[in-house]
Structures are given as structure tokens and as C-alpha cells.
Chains A and B, each alone.
Chain A
Amino acid sequence: MVGGGIISKNDDSMNDIQHIYREKTDKRILKKNPWKDYGLHLSVLVLAVIAMYIGPIEIKLTDSVEIAVMPLLYTMVLGLVFYLAKPVTWIERKQSRVAEGAMMLFIGILIAKLAVSSGQSMHLLFEMGPALMLQELGHLATILIALPVALLLGFKRETIGMTNSIGREPEVAVVVDKYGFNSPESRGIFALFIVGTMIGTVFISFLTSICVSILPLHPYAFAMASGVGSASMNAASLGPTLAAFPALETNIEAFAGFSNLLSFSVGIYIVIFIALPLTEKLYELLEPRIGRKPIVDEGGE
């Protein structure tokens, strides 16, 4: 979910996935009293109060298609605006680092809430086991769709890093481990990681509100699909899904949480053993046919 840190760090072992989280959290929040940055926390309180007062806004695109803009998007976008806005002098780079470290800890609260919902619906999770496991393979669709487009846009070996998966922390670690920190493949997944961090959460929220209103899929299918990316993407996608199927709240939370957990655990092995080899095969097959001339790399650094 967070930019910077991973990219400037030259860790290349898969076991470091956890260290990325932990060292960040420790460095940023354990060495000093976090209450010193009370301006940060008070700002978050103000943002949350404003967002909750406004509540969800529904925008009708056509008679049947409706987009729900959730309060969670207001706080995220306003948080970014607070950081970038010059007049807000109490939120600068330092507070941003504290926020990032604190966020690593607060992911725990989010996971715990989803886990409690999962515990309550455990019998259901066992019944839905096949769907939960197999939808992880559905993630491979990105290779078939995004890879040809990346080649047509002129990317070279960056394509392999950019299109093998949704590119969150575990996948970044796998790609860096396999190809090395300074490889084009790693540059590709770093680009995907940064852009995904900036726009992924907002985008998946809009994507979900459109999908739930136009696609006649099973409510649990939307719940499982919301878990494809990071914890924030999961949450942003859950908002419109819960709003569309309010009666199934606990079950939807359970599937979403479990699916996100699978993405972060089983998902890594799917990337290593299936997605990356498949991406390479398809790259070798398509690159000579539809690849463009090498271009100066804008996609990487």
C-alpha cells in the first residue's frame, strides 16, 4: 500500500515480505512518542467527522447504473490534499512517515474485524472453499488482457513485472527476488506498485460500484473479488458491495477478508509457480509479433 520504502530498499529475499512491514512500523512509531504528532491524529479525527457527516453520495449515471461515493474516499483524498496543501504546515513529510508506520499497525484492526466476521461464518467458508480457492486463479486474467496492451504501448521486459499480478507488496517482493532490484522486470512492478498505490483504491471503489449495478453476478463473487489487492483496496471495494447487498453484511465481510488473506498467502505461490512463468511464455510468444521499438524508459524510474 505504501510507496517509497520498499523501492529504496535493496532486500531480495522472499522472507523479507514481513520485514518490510515490521521494520517500517518499528522505525516510525516505536522510537518516539507518537503523541508528539497530535496534529496528525487531530486532523484525521476532523477528516473522519466531516466524511461521516456528509455520508455516501449516490450518483446516477443512467437509470440502472449508480455509483456510490463512500466516505472512505473523502478521507483518503482529503488526507492526500492535506499533505500536499501548502497552508497545512502541521502535516509534512515527517508526519507522512508516521502515518505510514501507524497505518501498518492499523491494518491489524481491519484484519481483526474481518477475522471476527470470518469466525462467525466459518461453516459457510468451508462450504465455499472451492470458489474461494479457484477465484485466486481468476487473477491470471490480467496477464491475458494487460500484457498485449503493454507491448503495444512499447514496454519491453518491464511488461513481465507490470502485468503478472496486481502488484502489491508480496508480488513486488517475489519479482525483486527473482529478477534483481535493478532489472527492467522490477522497474515494471515498481511502476505498477506506485501507480496502484495512488489510484488503485479510488479506482477499485468506482469499478466495484459500476460492476455491482450492471453485472448480474453472485453477491459472494463480488465479495471474493474485493480481496484481490491490498487491505485498503479490499476495504474500498467492500464499501459499494456492502451498500448493494446490506442483508448479507457479515458473510460478505467474511468472504472479502478471507479472499484478501488468500491473496497475501496462497497468492504468492500462484505468482511464483503459475503467473510469472505464464507471463514469460506469453511475452516470448507475443513480443516479436506486436512489440514496438524500444523506447526511452518512462515506465520505470
Chain B
Amino acid sequence: MVELIDGSENVSVHGIFNWILLLTIFSIITVVANFIGYEHPIADSLIGMAILSLITLAGVWMERYLPLNISSIIYISVIGIALAFPGMPTSEVVSYYVSQVELLSIVTVFLAYVGIGMGKSWNEFKTLGSRAIIITILVIASTYLGSALVAHIVLVMTGVPA
């Protein structure tokens, strides 16, 4: 717990401003990509990205300021689910605007940052032998297929229509 609080001291007003700036940059790029790829109205998808950015901001802020050892991923998920839950007063507005931003637009921009970010690991990657690559491919493929097969069997057994 102590470390948790320690880690938060470098988050100043300046820090929050940087988060907002980065989320704004990301939102603008995503909205442009979203317009080119799916031709959703720019104004609507901007509002959608603003909602998603606010949820993210709340999540990362809570992770650092609330004295609980909970990851921001959990906070963000709970807030997102609660806002869109049918019956909540926010449900319709949030669902409409967020649906204007396609997941694949977000992912396309996100993975550009991932690609640049993983460049640093390139040398480490090159020194690992082909055996490590074979095992990694096997691990990913068998985890994916194992999960899909079990899910399929349970879905069929519980009678979920396709």
C-alpha cells in the first residue's frame, strides 16, 4: 500500500494536463481514421471519443488516487459497463455516440503506437533462436484453440443459438 501512494507523487496538475493532451491527440487521429474508413460523422465520433477519453481519465486517476490496489483496467471497465447498462439514464447517449467510433479505428491507431513502441525490443528478439519462435507460435495457437473449443462446447451444451 505504501508503495502505491509513493508512486503517485509525480502526478501533478501538469501530469493530468499531459494525459488530457495525449488523449486529445489520440482522439483526433482516431476520428480522422474513423471518418476515412467508415465515414461516420466527424462531430458524432468526436463526442464518442470524448466520452471514452473521460472514462479512461477517470480510470487512470482513480488507480493512482484511491487507496485500493486495483488496476485502472478494472475501474475503466466498471465505469464503461455502468454508463452503458440498459436502464441507466446515460445508457442511450453513451451507447449511441460510442457506437459511432468503430473499434477497428481505435485499434488501428493504437497499434501504430504499439509498433513504434516495440521497436526497442527488436534486438532482443533477433538474438532469440528459432526454437523460441516455434514454441511461442505453438503456445499462442494452442491457447487460442483451447479457449475456442471449450467455449464452443459449453455454448452448444447450454443451447445458445448462433
Contacts and interface: CB of A to CB of B under 8 A. Distances in A.
Are A and B co-members of a single complex? yes
A19 B64 CA distance: 10
B76 to A, nearest CB: 5
Contacts of B104: 70-72, 238-239, 242
- The B interface, classified by DSSP as helix, strand, loop or mixed, is helix
- The A interface, classified by DSSP as helix, strand, loop or mixed, is helix
Given A108-B59, A116-B94, A134-B150, A45 B29 contact: yes
B77 A139 contact: no
Contacts of B29: 41, 44-45, 48
B121 to A, nearest CB: 3
Interface in A109-135: 109-120, 122-123, 127-128, 130-132, 134-135
Interface string B39-83: 000000000010011011101100110000111111011111111
Contact of A79 (B36, B52, B113, B136): B113
Contacts of B26: 102, 106, 109
B89 interface: no
Interface stretch (A27-35, A57-65, A177-185, A283-291): A27-35
A178 B69 CA distance: 20
Given A112-B76, A115-B81, A197 B118 contact: yes
Contact of B135 (A78, A163, A208): A163
B86 to A, nearest CB: 7
Given A100-B120, A132-B151, 10 more contacts: A48-B29, A73-B111, A79-B113, A111-B59, A198-B125, A217-B152, A218-B151, A221-B151, A225-B144, A299-B132
